[in-house]
Chain A
Amino acid sequence: MWQAGKRQASKAFNLYANIDILRPYFDVEPIQVRNRLMESMIPIRMINFPQKIAGELYGPLMLVFTMVAILLHGMKSSGTVIVEGTLMGTAIGTCFGYWLGVSSFIYFVAYLCNSQITMLQTLSLLGYGLFGHCIVLFITYNIHFHSLFYVFWLVIGGLSTLRMVAVLLSRTVGHTQRLIICGSITALHMFFLLYLHFAYHKVVEGILDTLDGQNMAPPFQRVARDLSLGPNSVLNVTLQALPAQSR
């Protein structure tokens, strides 16, 4: 009885202690979050001095949740059907997987390249980098223009990527190292946006194309191919036997 009570009490205590551990990462003012969101779109060309990265997780977490909601909207409007699994699970898995997975990867690369960055800062940097993605996806899931997406992809996605690149540049020393870390984060970040757009948008594009009716690609057709009846004796025998059977 005493043991059980003690365990209960220590568990409850641990829970509340853990909340206090979380506090510095989540306790922010709305105006701080707004400023950081703005700053995530403004690359600063100051690479001689390490730029500050706020180690805060409220903004990134909310951006990931927002992106889940936007992805769900995109999936619904494009009529995506996922055979094994659910839309909800896919959306949550994609967003959190990208955020946590790519952050860990970048942290690993940063470790190899000797960058001055902690895991917390990586999470925060990449999380705020998702703000551009959210804007682009939200607009282009609702307004279906191909060219609009590419412009947004380059401008807004590019700006948020540039911001991350600038921060990482300022915290890395050496040309090769800078090239490796910035190249990998740029490629991952930009292709993720492309993937998200086209993976859950294609169906609507297809419908639009068929509605236009002009630049519609001819559907795939089965075309009879010439069979070379040379050395393939089995095929020859079969081909000869078939008419005999049908008679």
Chain B
Amino acid sequence: MQPPGPAVRLHSNSPPGDFTFVSSTEAEDLTGSIATPDVKLNLGGDFTKESTATTFLRQRGYGWLLEVEENDPEDNKPLLEELDIDLKDIYYKIRCVLMPMPSLGFNRQVVRDNPDFWGPLAVVLFFSMISLYGQFRVVSWIITIWIFGSLTIFLLARVLGGDVAYGQVLGVIGYSLLPLIVIAPALLVVGSFEIVSTILKLFGVFWAAYSAASLLVGEEFKTKKPLLIYPIFLLYIYFLSLYTGV
């Protein structure tokens, strides 16, 4: 196959690498030809038997409408992996939050330093499920309080000189609802004794607030620690109040 001939060729007595123009009148025949490339237009997949609609669409140039995408190998990943849900990690964090004593040997900072979104969301949704009985509006309130309460805590923490990200606060506040979930069934049992249930509620709120505060309120706050612990404590009072009736 010859390339289509331009009227340019390497002259024999010029230095190699130089192009010179030659007149096309005295030159020999410079014609060439291009072999037809072996290309098939594939506009619509290989249907052996095509309906009239398909032919019609293809004629009009809309054959691509009927194309089916081939499966990406990435789509075959399991859903949990796709959504970054790490169940083992979540289980470890849940245990960290439920047992906030430093003596138990959990590496609790994981909850703060390695925030995920699905664990806290699951915890918050579970908490709203158990609060749901007889009050449908509670779910939206719990999620609203979670998001905006965390935002308030985050802003206060930043303003008071801490160094946290909003995602971390959201995660820690969400996970720390677990103690309230734990005391909820107990509240059902002792509901008739007012003093016992009050003590139990206080215990639950302190447990949750201690769990969250010990993670969020680091050493960098120095003397200002109470200023951040107090709003966290109030936030869990709100959550418990939503549980007992929105």
Contacts and interface: CB of A to CB of B under 8 A. Distances in A.
Interface of A: 19, 22-23, 26-31, 33, 58, 62, 65-66, 68-69, 72-73, 76, 86-89
DSSP majority for the B interface? helix
B224 A29 contact: yes
9 interchain residue pairs of minimum CB distance: A26-B159, A72-B241, A86-B246, A19-B158, A69-B237, A30-B226, A23-B159, A65-B234, A22-B159
B161 A88 contact: no
Of B155, B160, B234, B241, the most chain A CB neighbours within 10 A belong to B241
A26 B226 CA distance: 14
A88 B226 contact: no
Contacts of A69: 234, 237-238, 241
Contacts of B231: 62, 65
Interface residues of B, number: 23
Nearest to A58: B227
Nearest to A69: B237
Interface string B124-146: 00000000000001000100010
B36 interface: no
Given A22-B155, A65-B234, 6 more contacts: A26-B155, A29-B224, A76-B244, A86-B246, A87-B241, A88-B246
A76 B245 contact: yes
A99 B156 CA distance: 20
B202 to A, nearest CB: 12
B223 A88 contact: no
B178 interface: no
Contacts of B203: none
Interface string B213-227: 000000000011011
Contact of B159 (A27, A31, A66): A27
B223 A86 contact: no
Nearest to A85: B137
B159 A19 contact: yes
Nearest to A81: B245
A92 B51 CA distance: 65
A223 B85 CA distance: 70
Contacts of A23: 159
Contact of B242 (A29, A33, A66, A88): A88
Contacts of B237: 69, 72
B230 interface: yes
6 contacts: A22-B159, A26-B156, A30-B224, A73-B241, A86-B246, A89-B141
A70 to B, nearest CB: 10
A143 to B, nearest CB: 14
B226 to A, nearest CB: 5
Given A76-B244, A87-B245, A33 B227 contact: yes
Nearest to B137: A86
Contacts of A76: 241, 244-245
B155 A19 contact: yes
Interface in B142-158: 145, 155-156, 158
A119 B134 CA distance: 43
A136 B156 CA distance: 27
Nearest to A89: B141
A89 B227 CA distance: 25
A28 B223 CA distance: 10
A130 to B, nearest CB: 14
Contacts of A58: 156, 227
B227 A30 contact: yes
A33 B231 CA distance: 14
A202 B49 CA distance: 82
A22 B159 CA distance: 7
Contacts of B241: 69, 72-73, 76, 87-88
A127 B145 CA distance: 22
Nearest to B222: A29
A29 B223 CA distance: 7
A63 to B, nearest CB: 11
A30 B230 CA distance: 11
B244 A28 contact: no
Contacts of A30: 223-224, 226-227
Contacts of B159: 19, 22-23, 26-27
A85 to B, nearest CB: 9
B141 A86 contact: yes
